[in-house]
């Protein structure tokens, strides 16, 4: 039943998966795998307090299972409890030094805590296990926060070599290029991101670049486009105001 539930889960059939997981858990309340999987489902549904209780119990039953600690860390991040989350990710890494996700997630938690060097170390450890675009993009963001912009640019460029449609890396690369005075290149990457993923963030950033290049008409259009997507975005209002008074 647990295996069938996992298949439903992977297929996105969450209600069916939950029914099977609960069936296993009723038969054996101390089945750690069922507790873990139910906790993941609750996390996916935004039921973070329930997931916290469920995953904590899974760890009580099986404290040496690294992925349980990693999953509990994700719930703690969702609850804004980043210091506790970092402890869980560290424990997951101690239990399984090959668990790449634990080190990537540790980097996120450390970054949220403002612990730049620790975040960099965690991301580098994750990259030593597997070179993933999301981790490269996150590492680049941390480098940028520490004014190491050329290293940040190299991370974003490598992420885009591995995944050319990675919109987040495009946007972050554009920001780093803009900060180093390379506005024309930043504009090119923002346009590419806009084609693939026309989000508020992309519209706002491209409008900002266009304002700096005195391209006010298009900046106004992008500001209005951002406001259609998110009517209360203060950055878009600011861009629109600057475009209109120029």
Contact 181, 210 (CB under 8 A): no
Contact 128, 98 (CB under 8 A): no
> According to the model, what pLDDT value does residue 8 have?
86
Instruction: Tell me, yes or no, if the pTM score tops 0.75.
Output: yes
Please compute, for residue 207, the number of CA atoms within 13 A of its CA located in the half-sphere on the CB side.
Answer: 27
Handedness of CA 27, 31, 33, 39 (dihedral sign): positive
- Taking 3-state DSSP, the helix, strand and coil percentages for the chain, each rounded to the nearest 5, stand at 80, 0, 20
- What DSSP assignment string belongs to 112-123? HTT-HHHHHHHH
pLDDT digits (tens, 9 = 90+) for 170-223: 989 988 998 888 988 988 888 888 888 888 988 998 898 889 888 899 999 999
What confidence tier does 44 reach under pLDDT thresholds 50, 70, 90? very high
> Cα 15 to the chain's mean position, in Å?
26
Two structure tokens written together for 181: 């005075």
């Amino acid at each position: 039943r647990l295996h069938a539930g996992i298949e439903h889960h992977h297929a996105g059939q969450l209600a069916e998966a939950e029914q099977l997981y609960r069936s296993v858990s009723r038969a054996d309340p101390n089945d750690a795998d069922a507790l873990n999987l139910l906790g993941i489902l609750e996390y996916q549904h935004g039921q973070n307090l329930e997931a916290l209780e469920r995953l904590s119990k899974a760890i009580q039953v099986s404290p040496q299972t690294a992925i349980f600690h990693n999953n509990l860390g994700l719930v703690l991040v969702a609850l804004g409890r980043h210091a506790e989350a970092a402890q869980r990710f560290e424990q997951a890494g101690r239990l399984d030094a090959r668990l790449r996700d634990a080190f990537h997630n540790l980097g996120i938690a450390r970054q949220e805590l403002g612990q730049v060097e620790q975040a960099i170390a965690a991301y580098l450890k994750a990259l030593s296990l597997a070179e993933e675009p999301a981790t490269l993009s996150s590492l680049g963001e941390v480098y940028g926060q520490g004014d190491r912009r050329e290293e940040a640019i190299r991370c974003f460029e490598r992420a885009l070599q591995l995944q050319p449609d990675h919109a987040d890396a495009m946007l972050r690369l554009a920001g780093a290029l803009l900060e180093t005075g390379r506005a024309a290149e930043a504009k090119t990457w923002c346009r590419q991101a806009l084609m693939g993923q026309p989000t508020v963030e992309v519209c706002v950033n491209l409008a900002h670049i266009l304002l700096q290049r005195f391209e006010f008409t298009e900046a106004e259009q992008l500001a209005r486009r951002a406001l259609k997507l998110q009517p209360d975005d203060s950055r878009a209002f600011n861009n629109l105001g600057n475009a209109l008074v120029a």
